[in-house]
Chain A
Amino acid sequence: MSLLREAERFLASAARQKHLNAFISLPDISALLRQVQDAEDTGDKDSLNGKLIAIKDNICTSDLPTTAASGILKSFTSPYDATVVQQLRAAGGVIAGKTNMDEFGMGSHSTRSIFGEVCQETRSDRRVSAGGSSGGSAVAVARHNCWAALGTDTGGSVRLPAAYTGTIGFKPSYGLISRWGVIAYANSLDTVGIFARGAHDAQTVFNALNVHDPRDPTSLPPSTRSRIASVLAKRPLEWPPSKPSPPPGLVGPMPPLRIGVPIEYNIAELQPEVRAAWMQTLRILADNGHSIHQVSLPTTRHALSAYYVLAPAEASSNLAKYDGVRYGSRAPGSDASPETKSVLFAKTRGEGFGDEVKRRILLGAYTLSADAIDNYFIKAQKVRRLVQQDFDRVFALPNPLLDDQPANGENKKVDLLICPTAPTLPPTLKSLEGQSPVDAYINDVFTVPASLAGLPAVSFPVECVVDGVAIKVGIQAIGQYGDDHLVLNVASHCGILQS
């Protein structure tokens, strides 16, 4: 199929599925098709040439508004392109539009958007959650509105919607992909992630973005990147998964992997369908020569609480810049008046932010306050360190960021972890209405640990039949820091083994 034909199909389905509310803004169609035509004319067979890629609306683009789905930025257009957008354009990619999301990335169902909620429909016409916060990108990919999409993952915002929509959702190691131009929610956790319908496509996009960017102070410098490469090169695996896998359909000679199953993830709240899919995945892997090992990550049960202290703390700080003074929306009239005793910017911020954002700003402001910081922020940072140490204890690959690297390849250690992405299948939007905010936070319980430790993780769909109905369940592969290609290859591998 020609690139142009493919693009036209994507646009047609996007138009048909407008009601899913996956996009906040779309480019001019004729301009978009012209770009694709140009790409086709160059005949460049390169990776992303002429491919339609949707961008989450918290990633800056200079030609389309960037709103973060917030009232405070609802008519904001960035004066510059984020590095990832520049990289995609440079590789021939065509921006398919800006996708809907939870405001500033805060949410698990993509319902908290000033532009309305994202949804997906089941065969029985039920409106169910697309997951969040990158729900728009997930739906756009799942429903063939584009070839791939970028999202952001702070505590699971790419993996959870990927699990709910049956797509591949990849969160790379922290620091590999530039965050310059990505609107910060919680800088120390924010990671640009990739949605695709196959692991190989995700890998293709990842390869275009996996470059040091001097504009992002947390972007890994070349020296650290080569250090990771040298750690990976020492691994005694026959087929080095540190390289991209062969194209789909060509089952590569996957070496036998030691697969870890964290017992703490087998929680009581796990929905039976999800547990079944997890077991099925492990069975397929075992049947194909990989060994399964029980491992323990004892700090897991504190990870969620730590995350919901740290992320709001950073958010309360990052969102302090939205005051309507230099850009963004500003409440009409005087913003602060002595009569109403309203303080500086209070009206603008009060009107511009949604409830969940306000809730997290308040949470963060509290946990950073002089009286609370020791009990919350500092403790949560300690938990974060313990979570990382948990992972370092179970992975055979030493953490390349640490100096004192233990000898690798110990028998009890594993190459990667396999666990569910979310404890449940996507809930109906109706069922969310009566939920407390904390109920929504629970969805992140399996995704948050990898975020806290900065590890690469991918959610991939596993099809299983429950009561005679085939459903897709998101299963997650988590690797050691820097082992991004391994988790992607395993996702690809599992996809191939299933079919």
Chain B
Amino acid sequence: MFSRPSSSLIRGTAQGRYVCQACLRDVRTRRQLVANAQSLRLQSRALQTTTATEEVTPYRKQLKDEAKRQKLEGGSKPAKKKSKAKDSRLEKWELTVGIEIHAELNTARKLFSSAATASSDAPNSHVALFDVAFPGSQPHFQRETLLPALRAAIALNCTVQPKSSFDRKHYFYQDQPNGYQITQYYEPFAKDGHITLFDHDGIAPEDGKSITIGIKQIQMEQDTAKTIQAPPSTHLLDFNRVSHPLIEIITLPHIHHPSTAAACVRKIQTILKTIDAVTAGMELGGLRADVNVSVRERHNTTGTGPENSYYGVTGLGQRTEIKNLSSFKAVEDAIVAERDRQIDVLEGGGIIEGETRGWTLGSKETRKLRGKEGEIDYRYMPDPDLGPVIIGEDLVQALRNTLPKLPDDIASKLVSSAEYGLTMKDAKTMVALDDGERLDYYLDVVQLLHKDLEDDKALQGSVGRVAGNWVLHDLGGLFTTSEEVWSDMKVTSQSLASIISQLLRRHITGRTAKLLLATIFHGDQRTVRQIIEEENMTLRPMSREDYLAAANTLLSDNPDVVQAIKEKGQHGKIMFLVGQMVRRSEEGTMEAKTAESILKELLDIPNGE
């Protein structure tokens, strides 16, 4: 599902993550507002006016339009076809990317006031004097906000600085009450970290099995207010979000492939969620990314043209920055588009200007927001009201010791341990879903099954893998189809364990098990055993003869398929036949496995293939 972030995004949109409908509504509105505010911001910041009224496309509509466009262009990976032609250019030009990720910290209070961080409450209901920059008010640093920030720094292998400080970054905008943002420019609280991405994280094949990306620094800073458009010319401001603590994670330009960049953002998000450092992921506006993109000739030994360097990485081409990317897909697509644009310019004999560019979801090109001449001089100044932040090594050590297990560690345990035996792909998905709730549920089911099947060691071996399939695909599919939010109450772990146990013990067929799951999913309050009993679902095994008869009828009805299997060796089509065969049979009588082996027997295909 991660390969198509937009679909997970839509699903996240539809489901939300909250039980309370009112909250869900808030979240929807909020995300919408965030999206609106961002597109608005891009527009009006470029112009430096307040009057720019852009027609704002609702977020969901944007997503739908994007999907439509892609469909028209044929398939979900339109870049693929093109890329063939461009491969030769990529042999000549190397892409370099650095990422800045802004993440909303999961804290009770704002960074510089004791106001609550409840952004989704009634507008302007959590605003302290300093949050709206009243004359004479002063910042009051909330030390507790350091905790999630420090967990992030530790999880990203950074060195926590014993002393850091806050600086003011100046620019005028209505969502910035003080006329400056308090951030950490001169002395950030964490430096010199790194993150390792593996092939299963979705990095580019060219990056091999793994790639380690340096993290230059992590800094704490304030969020801005929310701008809500009230057309035609009114902008409403909600200051609940002002001064919500953020961290900005700045990677080194160690990335050379768009998919690796997306994988990096995705993995950082997963880590931040696991350690409970952030409020929400990208799909809810809890995370935003800016990317710095440059290209250089791979074999340029003449050393012509000015070379750029960044924090020890030298020989780089002129970079541009693409701001405010709000999905993994946007990160990847924007980089592809910007890389291709830069190569076009350079091959056409032009030069790349250091500029800030924007990216609209679903578009094919980045667009210029402001050039060098329009660059803002932020006039960074140490904040004279705020003293240094002194962090003791004991605190860092205590947080390190209590840090939740990271996704990588959990996933590899799910793969390597005989108790679970998941594929890496399933393990990664399990860890990433529903803020860890899916994983908890899965672990419950596995534990119940191991207990239930204590008497049968042979069956126990497959429990982890089978339970994984049911939790992710069968149960997961039901949630997806009904567009509902994940909940472990819909089908309790006891019910699912009971269904799987019955199946493994061959008391019911696979088809019956699925039917049972759906029945319970849709509200049947009876226990699994009750339903099986009352609905006569117990397996009534068919004889070998019955199987053979059914198989023969099926094969004679499908000569094309038989031919394809026998002559063209399309053995994958067997499963189609198995499905057909089970479907034709009477409910609760035929087992798919037996059907498969009978079919293979008749088709002269050795079992076990």
The interface of chain A, by Cβ under 8 A from chain B, is: 59-60, 66, 68, 73, 76, 78-80, 82, 179-184, 186-188, 214-218, 313-314, 316-317, 319-321, 323, 325-327, 334-338, 343-345, 365, 368-370, 373, 377
Instruction: Tell me if B399 is interfacial: C-beta within 8 Å of chain A.
Output: no
Instruction: Determine whether B78 belongs to the interface, using a CB cutoff of 8 Å to chain A.
Output: no
Nearest Cβ in chain A — how far from B402, in angstroms? 29
Choice from B49, B139, B141, B178 contacting A336 with Cβ under 8 Å: B49
Establish whether residues B179 and A321, one from each chain, have CB atoms under 8 Å apart when the complex forms. yes
Contact with A along B114-137 (1 / 0, CB 8 A): 000000000000000100111111
B135 & A76 in contact (Cβ 8 Å cutoff): yes
Kindly state whether residue B168 has any CB partner on chain A within 8 Å. yes
Q: In the complex the two chains form, is A60's CB within 8 Å of B136's CB?
A: yes
Q: Main SS of the interface on chain A? A: loop
CB <8 Å contact, B48 and A344 = yes
B172 touches A180 (CB 8 A): no
Additional A-B contacts beyond A179-B138, A188-B384 (11; CB < 8 A): A78-B134, A78-B136, A183-B135, A216-B138, A218-B138, A321-B179, A323-B179, A336-B51, A368-B379, A370-B377, A377-B381
B198 at the interface (CB under 8 A from A): no
**A residues less than 8 Å from B385 (CB atoms):** 184, 187, 217-218
Contacts of A183 in B (CB 8 A): 135-136
Cβ contact within 8 Å between B129 and A80: yes
B395 cross-chain contacts in A, Cβ below 8 A? none
- Chain A residues positioned under 8 Å from B168 (CB to CB): 317
Complexed CA–CA distance, A373 and B382 (Å): 12
What are 15 A-B contacts defined by CB distance under 8 Å? A60-B136, A78-B135, A78-B136, A79-B129, A80-B134, A181-B136, A181-B137, A215-B138, A215-B140, A217-B386, A218-B384, A317-B179, A321-B177, A335-B50, A343-B48
**Residues of chain B whose beta carbon lies under 8 Å from any beta carbon of chain A:** 47-52, 129, 132-141, 168, 170, 172-174, 177-180, 237, 377, 379-381, 384-387
Does B50 contact A320, Cβ atoms closer than 8 Å? no
**A325: which B residues are within 8 A, CB to CB?**
174, 177, 237
**Which residues of chain B come closer than 8 Å to A319, judged between CB atoms?**
179
A326 in complex: contacting residue of B177, B180, B384, CB < 8 Å? B177
Partner of B384 from A314, A323, A369, A370 at Cβ < 8 Å = A314
Q: Which 10 A-B pairs have CB atoms at the shortest separation, nearest pair first? A: A320-B179, A368-B379, A188-B384, A321-B133, A187-B384, A181-B136, A60-B136, A336-B49, A183-B135, A343-B48
Question: Which chain B residues border A187 with CB–CB below 8 Å?
Answer: 384-385
Least Cβ–Cβ distance between A13 and chain B, in angstroms: 30
- A407 vs B216: C-alpha distance when bound (angstroms): 44
- Inter-subunit contact A182/B136 (CB<8 Å): yes
From residue B491, how far is it (CB to closest CB) to chain A in Å?
A: 51
A320's partner among B134, B139, B178 (CB-CB below 8 A) is: B178
Q: Is the CB of B47 within 8 A of A338?
A: yes
Partner of B51, one of A182, A214, A217, A334: A334
A79-B129, A314-B384 in contact; A217/B140 too (CB < 8 A)?
yes
Contacts of B138 in A (CB 8 A): 179-180, 215-218
Residues on the A chain within 8 Å of B172, using CB: 320, 323, 343-345
B381 near A314 (CB under 8 angstroms)? yes
CA distance A195 to B180 in the complex (A): 34
A187 to B49, CA, bound (A): 30
Smallest beta-carbon distance B112→chain A, Å: 9
Measured in the bound complex, the distance between the Cα atoms of B135 and A78 in whole Å is 8
Please give the distance in Å from A471's CB to the nearest CB on chain B.
37
Q: What A residues does B387 contact at CB under 8 A?
A: 217-218
User: Which residues on the B side are within 8 Å of A334 (C-beta)?
Assistant: 50-51
Q: Which residue of B lies closest to A381 (CB)?
A: B382
- Give the residues in chain A near B136, CB-CB below 8 Å: 59-60, 66, 78, 82, 179-184
Residues from chain A with a CB closer than 8 A to the CB of B380 are: 368, 373
Q: Are the CB atoms of A66 and B48 closer together than 8 Å?
A: no
Determine the distance from Cα of A179 to Cα of B380 in the docked complex, in whole angstroms: 23
Once A215-B140, A369-B377, A377-B381 are accepted as A-B contacts, the answer to whether A338 and B132 lie under 8 Å apart by CB is: no
Q: Identify B381's interface contact among A60, A80, A313, A327, CB under 8 A.
A: A313
* Residue picked from A179, A182, A368, most chain B C-beta under 10 Å: A368
Question: How many Å lie between the Cα of A476 and that of B381 in the bound state?
Answer: 32
In the assembled complex, the Cα of A368 lies from the Cα of B381 at a distance in Å of 7
- The verdict on A217 contacting B170 (CB below 8 Å), with A78-B135, A187-B384, A313-B381 known, is no
Kindly state the separation between the CA atoms of A278 and B354 in the bound complex, as whole angstroms: 60
- Chain B residues near A377 (CB, 8 Å)? 381
A residues less than 8 Å from B141 (CB atoms): 217
- A345-B171 Cα distance, complex, nearest whole Å: 12
**Which one of B51, B381, B384, B386 contacts A338 once the chains associate, using CB atoms below 8 Å?**
B51
Are B135 and A320 within 8 A (Cβ)?
no
User: What residues of A have a CB within 8 angstroms of the CB of B48 in the complex?
Assistant: 336, 343-344
- Nearest B-chain residue to A335, judged by Cβ: B50
Measured between alpha carbons, how far is A188 from B385 in the docked complex, in Å?
7
Taken together as a complex, chains A and B put the C-alpha atoms of A327 and B170 apart, in Å, by 20
* CB of B350 to closest CB in A, whole Å: 26
Nearest Cβ in chain A — how far from B142, in angstroms?
A: 12
Within the assembled complex, what's the spacing in Å between the Cα atoms of A82 and B170?
26
Of A218, A314, A325, A369, most buried by chain B (CB within 10 Å of CB) is A325
Which of A66, A217, A326, A337 sits near B132, CB closer than 8 Å?
Answer: A326
Minimum C-beta distance from B380 to chain A (A): 8
Determine whether the beta carbon of B133 is less than 8 Å from that of A326.
yes
Task: With CB as the reference atom, state the residue of chain B lying closest to A76.
Answer: B135
Which residue on B lies nearest to A213, using beta carbons?
B138
Assess whether A365 is in contact with B47, with CB atoms less than 8 Å apart: no
Determine the residue in chain A with the shortest Cβ distance to B133. A321
Whether A66 pairs with B377 at a CB distance below 8 angstroms is: no
Q: How far is the CA of A365 from the CA of B180 in the complex (A)?
A: 13
Complex-state Cα separation, A369 to B171, whole angstroms: 12
The answer for the CA separation of A343 and B386 in the assembled complex, in Å, is: 30
- Shortest CB-to-CB span from A486 to chain B, Å, is 27
| Contact A60-B135, Cβ < 8 Å, known A187-B384, A323-B172 | yes
Q: How far is the CA of A270 from the CA of B456 in the complex (A)?
A: 103
Of residues B139, B173, B377, which shows the largest number of chain A Cβ atoms within 10 Å of its Cβ? B377
In angstroms, Cα B237 to Cα A326, docked, is 10
| B381 proximity list for chain A (CB < 8 A) | 313-314, 317, 368, 377
